[in-house]
Amino acid sequence: MKDRLIKAFGEGDERAFTQLYNQLKGKAFLAAYKATRSRVEAEDISMIVFERLWEKRDAFDTMAHVSRWVYQVAFRLGLDKRKTSPPTYEFNEEIHDAPEEHVDLSEQDIIRLELVEKVYQITKSLAPYKQRIFQLYFIDGKKIKDICEALELNKQTVYNTIYRIKNAFT
């Protein structure tokens, strides 16, 4: 069935494209959201991904190939967008507003999403300045010196905060 869907899609069948879109839009959104951490950006990127998918419709031969391509392109576009956008140092609850369509996820994806949810819950409970330090150090990979300069904190305060954040995860 999926092979017929991909074949019809490759021949330009718009109904087949609509079916693919409905099956993969959640996957595209989650990949883009993972990279950008912005619902608005993830939605925009998802649309771009499906526009590109339509343009390359004759390049795919299996559903797995299409699914993998959608995820990779959405994630890469998200990373590119994140690199070109100014950084934000606040946490938000947009992940909880993500569409709840059926998405075929592997066991590894499910474990990863559960882990992300746990990290989100712990970081949400942190004080705002600790959230900023968490983002800068653990997510953005900034050095302690850079964090001190960006947040105008002394080195020992940043070290102590990182230590307390690590303890919050144990």
Among 106, 24, 7, 110, CA closest to 71 = 24
Closest CA to 13 of 45, 57, 44, 51: 57
Helices of type H across 11-152: 14-36, 39-55, 63-84, 107-124, 128-134, 144-151
Please give the Cα distance from 135 to 90 (Å, whole number). Answer: 8
Residue 88 has pLDDT above 80, yes or no: no
Q: Are residues 76 and 145 in the same domain?
A: no
Residue 100 lies in a domain: no
Q: Please tell me the predicted confidence (pLDDT) of residue 125.
A: 85
Widest CA span in the chain:
62
Give the whole-angstrom CA distance, residue 44 versus residue 29. 9
Question: Do 81 and 113 have their domain in common?
Answer: no
Q: Which range, 68-72, 79-83, 114-118, is most confident?
A: 68-72
Res 115: pLDDT? 81
Residue range(s) defining the domain that contains residue 113: 106-170
User: What percent of the chain clears pLDDT 90, i.e. is strictly above it?
Assistant: 38
Identify the pLDDT of residue 91: 52
Residue 75 lies in a domain: yes
Q: In the predicted model, is pLDDT for residue 89 greater than 50?
A: no
Local confidence band at 90 (pLDDT 50, 70, 90 cut-offs): very low
- The residue out of 85, 117, 152 marking a domain boundary is 85
Residue 100, pLDDT > 70, answer no
pTM of the model: 0.52
Element (H, E) at 159: helix 155-168
Residue 92 inside a domain? The answer is no
Residues 64 and 118 in one domain: no
Q: Is the pLDDT of residue 49 over 80?
A: yes
> Which CATH number covers residue 158?
1.10.10.10
In this predicted structure, the answer to whether residue 20 has a pLDDT above a threshold of 70 is: yes
Instruction: Examine the domain organization and report whether 78 and 34 are in the same domain.
Output: yes
Average pLDDT of the chain? 84
Question: How many distinct structural domains can be found in the chain?
Answer: 2
pLDDT at 7 over 80: yes
Same domain assignment for residues 12 and 71:
yes
